[in-house]
Amino acid sequence: MFTVANASQEKPVLKRLHAAAIALLIASAALAGAKGEAFLDALRKNAVVETDVMVPMRDGVKLATDLARPKGEGKFPVILMRTPYRKNLGPAGMAVAAGYAFATQDVRGRFNSEGDHRPFLDDPNDAFDTIAWLAKQPWCDGHVGMMGGSYVGFTQLAAAMTKPPALRCILPGVPPSDFDNRVAFYGGALRQELVQGWLIGQAWSSQRVQRKQAPADEVAKWRPHHFMAWCWHLPLSEPGPLTVGGPGYANYWLDGVRNWEKPGLWRDISPIQRAEDIQVPTLITAGFYDIFAQENLELLLALRARGGSDAARTHSHILIGPWAHGIGVPEGDTTFLSATRALGGIQEKWFARWLKNQPNEADKWPPIRAYVMGQDRWLDTDTWPPAQSKPTKLYLAKGKLAPEPPKQDEAPSAFTYDPAKPVPTLGGNNLSIAKAMHDHRKNAQRPDVLAFYSEPLERDVAVVGTMRARLFVSSSAPDTDFTAMLLDVRPDGYQGNIQDGIVRCRYREGRGKPKLLKPGEIVEVEIDLWSTAYVFEKGNRIALHVSSSNFPRFDRNLNVPDHPSAWTKLQTAENKVHHGPAHPSFIELSVLQ
């Protein structure tokens, strides 16, 4: 199955539904303004509202839950959101108007809920118990669906993995879904701004801080050291400002970095690895510039292949657009506003189909619907990469990318990597720093960035699918990193990032198989560049930047043999990329025929 639709020809949708779809799919922090007595008074005109209902879990801990349901007699399907970002009834008005009850809950140890917060770990059981409690309420018809984005998206997958009898469908937006391989570590490197930055934010909104239980001198000590200042600190094993949230936050960080070389520890909360346990229809919304882009695509493929029921295998879908972590929200230098039309009404149709058993167009949605940046088109396919995308290699030569490898041996491209002066992150698949596409000309001028360029394109080239770089490299150090970034170079000189990746050389065979380098030894490494759906226009050039850092997107490699969590002393490394007949380094793109 393979079709292409023009986004500008999408059927118009009511502004109300369009706005609702965006509001309900992004992380619930954006909804926090919908609170207060004035809002609740307005909601009570059409709904029965209860706040801070303490729902008991199997271990006796009670979780604070707000509820709203249509007035009058009757039983209603329930839409549930579980969040660490403070519960609120922002979406309840629209849900109630459509005939649903709505429930929103602070996860364990956050805001008004009891217990200790251990991010992600307690959500499967707590979600199961919450859904069971909702299904027993006299106003519930026994059907429960879930929605929300980011962590709120994960809570849905966590619930689905426990198979609650009342759960009928989920609608996770940009959810973390592969904790073992992608969420925290990427190519063996730590996704520092994502993991450390997010966890510091959680610590500073913890119950200990909210309730003013942290001593004033402790707060004053760490207040200047939020992520952008603290990310330079070594060793990584020191929790620093995380201690303000209490020992649980600090210990959670320590467990993560100290278990760097132990893949498999997070399998129980990794939906991709447990696709067989998910039995309900699943609609994923995602973005090519999102922090979880590739794992969201892989989750969809896993559900289609290994889902635990016919419903999961047949009725799991992904809609992936040109967005970063805020679905439908423009980011970076290039925006695609027409793409947001595809969000209009999708949650309304989804819940009507699976919570009210009303057949509609959701029955015919394709497995994958991807927005092609540069063509203003949606591509529908049941495979990824699409069957019409063919692997196409561009080989590295001195400053060039070419369809064929150099015919003669060349001197390697070399640079000095100094971890005290890392290449700064200017854009990409990030959470709290610059997101999506930005101009990288400034980095291209650095002596520690190798730039390779194709000839100006003779026609438009649509790259739709997965990408990778395969490089022959060597270093003077026992360990170092190599980064790769795919860029679109326009005639005016603008260099916009498409995707990037990294490999930590000691983990080139996996995090569980560390293997240090021998000085000068040439090894072959692969850098996963995730996926895109992007058109390089005629006259533009395809570029590849290779270096050894992208900070603070990834932690800095100090070029030493110690465990990464214990690094304190740094040294420079003389790094080389080899190219020629004996060492055909290349980048491989999925080019749509």
Both 132 and 217 in one domain: the answer is no
Give the mean pLDDT of 224-237: 92
Q: Catalytic residue, from 123, 290, 439, 448: name it.
A: 290
CA–CA distance, 385 with 370 (Å, rounded to integer): 11
Amino acid in position 518: K
Output the pLDDT for position 337. 86
Output the pLDDT for position 449. 98
Tell me the three state secondary structure of residue 268: helix
Output the pLDDT for position 328. 87
Our answer to whether residue 150 is catalytic in this structure is yes
pLDDT in tens, 3-20: 333 433 333 322 333 333
Which domain-ending residue is among 241, 258, 275?
258
Q: What's the sign of the alpha-carbon dihedral 266, 271, 273, 276?
A: positive
Please provide the DSSP assignment of 167-201 as one string: EEEEEEES----IIIIISEETTEE-HHHHHHHHHH
Our answer to whether residue 290 is catalytic in this structure is yes
pLDDT in tens, 528-541: 999 999 999 999 99
Output the pLDDT for position 474. 98
Both 198 and 223 in one domain: the answer is yes
Q: What's the sign of the alpha-carbon dihedral 560, 552, 533, 535?
A: negative
Both 408 and 500 in one domain: the answer is yes
Mean pLDDT of all residues belonging to the chain:
93
Query: Is residue 306 over pLDDT 80?
Result: yes
Output the pLDDT for position 23. 37
Give the mean pLDDT of 229-239: 96
Both 254 and 324 in one domain: the answer is no
Give the mean pLDDT of 291-316: 98
Both 38 and 116 in one domain: the answer is yes
Read off the pLDDT band of 265 (50, 70, 90).
very high
Please provide the DSSP assignment of 532-587 as one string: EEEEEPTT-EEEEEEES--BTTSPPP-SSSS-GGG------EEEEEE-SSSS--EE
Polymer length of the chain:
593
Q: Which residue has the higher pLDDT, 35 or 139?
A: 139
Query: Is residue 518 over pLDDT 50?
Result: yes
Tokens read off for 366 = 């394709």
Q: Catalytic residue, from 325, 545, 578, 579: name it.
A: 325
Both 193 and 176 in one domain: the answer is no
Question: Per 3-state DSSP, what percentage of the chain is helix, strand, and coil (rounded to 5)?
Answer: 25, 30, 45
Both 581 and 488 in one domain: the answer is yes
Count structural domains, the chain: 3
Tokens read off for 410 = 């060349």
Both 320 and 365 in one domain: the answer is yes
DSSP single-letter state for residue 493 = S
Give the mean pLDDT of 247-257: 94
CA–CA distance, 223 with 203 (Å, rounded to integer): 12
Percent of the chain residues topping a pLDDT of 90? 90
Give the mean pLDDT of 439-459: 98
Our answer to whether residue 363 is catalytic in this structure is no
Given a contact cutoff of 8 angstroms between Cβ atoms, the answer to whether 371 and 381 are in contact is no
Read off the pLDDT band of 32 (50, 70, 90).
very low
Query: Is residue 335 over pLDDT 90?
Result: no
Helix 151-161 / helix 123-135 crossing angle, nearest 10 deg:
70
Which domain-ending residue is among 337, 354, 381?
381
Which domain-ending residue is among 381, 400, 426?
381
Tokens 């150090």 identify what position?
477
Both 247 and 273 in one domain: the answer is no
Read off the pLDDT band of 21 (50, 70, 90).
very low
Q: What's the sign of the alpha-carbon dihedral 263, 268, 269, 273?
A: positive
Given a contact cutoff of 8 angstroms between Cβ atoms, the answer to whether 248 and 209 are in contact is no
Helix 247-258 / helix 192-203 crossing angle, nearest 10 deg:
160
pLDDT in tens, 415-430: 999 999 999 999 999 9
Give the domain range for residue 452.
389-592
Tokens read off for 140 = 């519930």
CA–CA distance, 107 with 116 (Å, rounded to integer): 10
Output the pLDDT for position 35. 53
Q: Catalytic residue, from 28, 150, 547, 585: name it.
A: 150
Output the pLDDT for position 123. 98
Read off the pLDDT band of 226 (50, 70, 90).
confident
CA–CA distance, 421 with 300 (Å, rounded to integer): 39
Give the mean pLDDT of 105-114: 98
Give the mean pLDDT of 30-56: 83
